[in-house]
Structure 1
């Protein structure tokens, strides 16, 4: 093995830069040439490649986003696009590629593996929706960003004696809402994994009002629906004033937490080691605080188990 490439694809997440840094420096430490592919699979198709050195990744461990940039690429999902990518890989003589991203990124890596390209996946997504690993890079930072927002919104919600609905990201995963809601003391946490009705939410609000509680925080995962629609329904049913805050891309930015920096460093280095060991078609992750690797097909087929024990605890503590 002589030449390794690294790319980031899909949605950005805090800690991606720490992972890139680990890939580059572990590669150089082991005497390899390392290249950065800009803008994910789109850059791979178009040969947007740069050689990287120690200075390329200096002072980036604390930065959010990704220095390699990222983009979604529909062309890569076609046979013609895949062939263009293979051509670039042959031209630059890449012996292996580390791909950092979520399930869509891993599916792209799987297609490359089928065509003889050695790939190792690193989970970089705030959604924490990959079942094979306990945590994905960026999740912890996103949770802390939401928690900070909850703390600030609660101040004004309390002052004005209002109800606030905070809509958070996560696609079809409720982990950001669950973790941030438990840590922030949200009165209601609404996630895709657990059925709910507006009547249940209204009943809890009225029970709180009857005992003198005049403000509440409701955390809504985006995979459930729109916060604005829930706010209108609550107001129409019980007449209480509701304010909506949609955090949006705010959750994807910011300096990564210590947890995400350490996780990204461990996973990025492990990915290079896996390539050096002759592995391919694997994804690295963390399970019970141990760095592991899993077959990419198996990892993509696994179904994410929602932490119902934590959800029940949040309900108990919010009575």
Structure 2
């Protein structure tokens, strides 16, 4: 290989720029020409591809978002669109592709790999829901953003003797809600992996009230339902007043933490090393502090496991 490309796809996450930087600089160090694909798979099909130099990634390691931009593309799921994307890459002599993104991005990389074009996936998503890695790029930053926001909300909850429901991101994975809830001492944590009964939530609130507690925090992952609906149900059925706060896209932005910058740099560099070795169809991650890689197609057949120990601990400490 002499030329490789890199793209970001799906939802942005803090640390994507650090990963792009690592791919570009490690690639140039290894003797490659590096190309950036703009606007994800949509840009790939359109041929929105430009050569990147060392200076192209200067002063970006601390910036959130992605300098390559991102987009979702339903069209790319079609076979003919995938062949069109490969044609665009080969027209420029590009022989390998690094894809930074989440589950959907990995599926696109797997499809290209199955069609004979070597791709390497890097786990870039705040949801922390990619199998084969303990952490994904952006999760630590999003977690700290949520923790800082809830800490501020708790100040108000304490001052006004109120119960707040905090809705955080996580349609299918509750890692943000679980880890942030444990970190802020939330009284109740609701995640999509664990069904709940409204009576259990009420019991926890009433138990706190009986022992003199005048405020509570409920952290709710969006995949469970909306904070507004839960608030209305608590009021209508149990006469419990709550306030809600939906953190929204603030969770995706901001300067990446040191952890995310280092993780992104390590996996980005490893992606280039694999392509130097002629290995495509891999998904890179970190397990037990070591950088590992797995077959990307096999990874997609697995389900990311909820950290049971963390969930159990959160239940025990929120009594």
Partner residue in 1 for 2:75: 75
Distance in 2 between residues matched to 1:214 and 1:96, nearest whole Å? 58
Distance in 2 between residues matched to 1:260 and 1:187, nearest whole Å? 28
Q: For 1:18-57, what aligned pairs fall within 5 Å after superposition? A: 18-57=18-57
Partner residue in 2 for 1:294: 294
Distance in 1 between residues matched to 2:190 and 2:240, nearest whole Å? 19
Partner residue in 2 for 1:92: 92
Runs of 4+ in 1 over 6 A off after TM superposition: none
Give the superposed CA RMSD: 0.8
1:177 is the counterpart of 2:183? no
Q: For 1:1-319, what aligned pairs fall within 5 Å after superposition? A: 1-319=1-319
Distance in 1 between residues matched to 2:91 and 2:284, nearest whole Å? 27
Give the Å deviation of 1:28: 0.5
Distance in 1 between residues matched to 2:48 and 2:284, nearest whole Å? 26
Distance in 2 between residues matched to 1:82 and 1:153, nearest whole Å? 46
How many residues of Structure 1 are paired with residues of Structure 2 in the alignment?
319
Distance in 2 between residues matched to 1:83 and 1:290, nearest whole Å? 35
Distance in 1 between residues matched to 2:53 and 2:106, nearest whole Å? 26
Secondary structure of the residue aligned to 2:300 is helix
Give the Å deviation of 1:310: 1.1
Secondary structure of the residue aligned to 1:259 is helix
Native 8 Å contact 2:171 2:192 kept in 1: no
Native 8 Å contact 1:128 1:170 kept in 2: no
Gaps of 5+ in 2: none
Distance in 1 between residues matched to 2:215 and 2:308, nearest whole Å? 26
Give the Å deviation of 1:211: 1.1
Native 8 Å contact 1:132 1:294 kept in 2: yes
Give the Å deviation of 1:114: 1.4
Distance in 2 between residues matched to 1:224 and 1:298, nearest whole Å? 28
Distance in 2 between residues matched to 1:268 and 1:311, nearest whole Å? 31
Distance in 2 between residues matched to 1:126 and 1:134, nearest whole Å? 12
Native 8 Å contact 1:168 1:176 kept in 2: yes
Distance in 2 between residues matched to 1:267 and 1:8, nearest whole Å? 14
Question: TM-score, length-normalised on structure 2?
Answer: 0.99
Question: TM-score, length-normalised on structure 1?
Answer: 0.99
Gaps of 5+ in 1: none
Distance in 1 between residues matched to 2:293 and 2:315, nearest whole Å? 35
